[in-house]
Each structure stands twice: as structure tokens, then as C-alpha cells.
Amino acid sequence: MRFYIYWFFTCLACFPSAQARIFEKDPKALETLNLSYGKHERQVLDVVHLEGAKDCPVILFFHGGSWRWGRKDYHRTIGKQFAKAGVLFATANYRLYPEVRFPAFPEDAVFALKWLRGHVAKYGGDPKKIFLMGHSSGAHSMALVGLDESYLKKEGGDFSWVKGVVAMSCPYYFDPSKEFLYRDVFDVGTDHKEFMPLNHVDGGTEPPILVMHGLLDPLVAAERAEVFIKKVRAAGGKVTRKIYSSHGHFSLVRRTTSWHIWPKPFLKDVVGFVRENE
């Protein structure tokens, strides 16, 4: 049942992609679309930035969709809001199940991050100020990259590549053998610990993380976010807690779609986190 609920709201969010354009209502806000960060057809990203901007902090965003579906352009509209706030926004596609399984998703996050480090200055972004952000399954990938340095090391990087992580409605821990949304995507015959952001918290050199979660989330209980926050704090890590009492799993992100403006409190929380940690 949860599968169909998620699919319904994802379809509502769908909107046709464009090629490349200047925003009609703001000639200074630019979109550069379908930039390839890898060889696969889904390894592409869009960049939203202000004309003439320089050395802006950067957000790299991964959509949700249970690792099975989703598109970068679902959430591109918030890029304009971030651009006006002085933050460059890159929203990326990544490979999906059943063509690939874990760990392809966090690996793609690193591929996109590495590409941005080499190219984002062209669009006014600072390659030394890149933040990772995602919703649901996308947040899971970003949290893993921000907590398990091995993904970065495979591409010659380390935690210095990531200034911070913004995790929205993230499944910080789960049992893929018991929860059907995860069962096929992850190898249930292996050690589950490697899948879980919670298990990689050590409070060392990990970048700061902003936890955004709806208290009414029926798919990923807010309790999981609280457990994660508690462990990060106990380990001496830096975490910012934002639990929204009147929101669920989809309402945090649904207004990032093509015909909506993201609510100012959410935008303010993310921009504030970026400014504090850039």
C-alpha cells in the first residue's frame, strides 16, 4: 500500500523537463540543464544559478522515489529560490533499481559531487562549499556519503569535499529483509550495517548535518530521526534538528515541484544551515 501511495504523489509532482532557458519572470536566474556527470543516461544534472554570481555555496540535490523512480526536474523550481538567496542549486538524476542496486546510489552521489567540484565555478559556485541534500531515498544516499568516507575515498576525496548534509525524511536505519520498500534494492544476504547511516556515526571529521523530518511521516517514522540525532550528539558530531509538527513524508518536499514555491520556513532553515557552515 505504501508503494502505491508514494507512486501517486510522485506522479503528481511530475512535470516535463525543458532544455535550457532563462526564467521568464527573472532574466537573471539561469537554468543549465542535462549536464552529464557520467556515461549513463541518468547520470545528468541541472544547475540553477544567478547570472554574474561568483563563489556561491552549492547544494547538490537527490530526489526520492524508493530508489526506483523520480526525476531531477521534479524539484528544480526551488533552485530559483536558492539562487535568489545566493546559493547555487544542482538537482541530479541517478541510476535506479532494477537496473542497479545498492551501492550504486551513493556512488552516483559522489560522481555528481566530483563533477561539480571540477565544473561548478563556471556557473558561479564555489567548489569548496558544496552541500549534499536529498529527500527520502535520496537523503539516504547523501547521508551515507556524509558519514561513510569510503565512498569519497574511492574517487580520491574525503570529508573535506562536503561542507554539510541536509537530510529530509531520511531512513537512517531499517531492516531490508522485513520492509518491502528496501528488500529488492539491498542485498538482504549481506551485513545490513553498511546500509545504515546510523551505523556510520562516529563524531569524528564528519560534516555537519541538518535533519528535516515531518512528525506525521507514515513511511519513515520521526522516531528514526530522533534516534539518529541522539547518536550524533552523543558522539560529539554536529547536527541541527528540525522536526515539523504538522508535516508528513511528502509535504516537506511536494511544494518543491514545478508549480509551487517552497515554504519560507523550510527555505530559511536550509539557507541558514548553509550560511552557518559554508
Q: Which residue has the cell 500500500?
A: 1
pLDDT of the chain along its 278 residues, tens only?
444 444 444 444 443 333 344 444 554 789 999 999 999 999 999 999 999 999 999 999 999 999 999 999 888 888 888 999 999 999 999 999 999 999 999 999 999 999 999 999 999 999 999 999 999 999 999 999 999 999 999 999 999 999 999 999 999 998 877 777 788 898 766 667 889 999 999 988 999 999 999 999 888 989 999 999 999 999 999 999 999 998 888 877 765 444 456 677 889 999 999 999 99
Positive or negative: CA dihedral 200, 276, 157, 68: positive
Which structural domain, as residue segments, surrounds residue 50? 2-277
Query: Residue 254 has what pLDDT?
Result: 65
Query: Residue 107 has what pLDDT?
Result: 99
Domain count, the chain: 1
Q: Coil, helix or strand for 213?
A: strand
Query: Residue 1 has what pLDDT?
Result: 44
Give the integer Cα–Cα distance in Å for 120 and 115. Answer: 8
Query: Residue 178 has what pLDDT?
Result: 77
DSSP calls for 218-264: SSS-HHHHHHHHHHHHHTT--EEEEEETT--TTHHHHTTSTT----H
Q: Which residue has the cell 532494477?
A: 98
Q: What is the CATH number of the domain that holds 214?
A: 3.40.50.1820
Give the integer Cα–Cα distance in Å for 135 and 142. Answer: 9
- Phi then psi for residue 158, to 5 deg, are -155, -170
- DSSP character for 27? T
**pTM of model > 0.75:** yes
Residue 253's contacts (CB-CB under 8 Å, 6 or more residues apart) are 64, 75, 135, 136, 168, 169
Instruction: Please report the beta strands in the chain, taking only residues with DSSP state E, as ranges in sequence order.
Output: 20-22, 29-36, 44-50, 56-62, 88-92, 125-135, 164-168, 209-214, 239-244
Query: Residue 189 has what pLDDT?
Result: 66
Q: Which residue has the cell 521568464?
A: 24
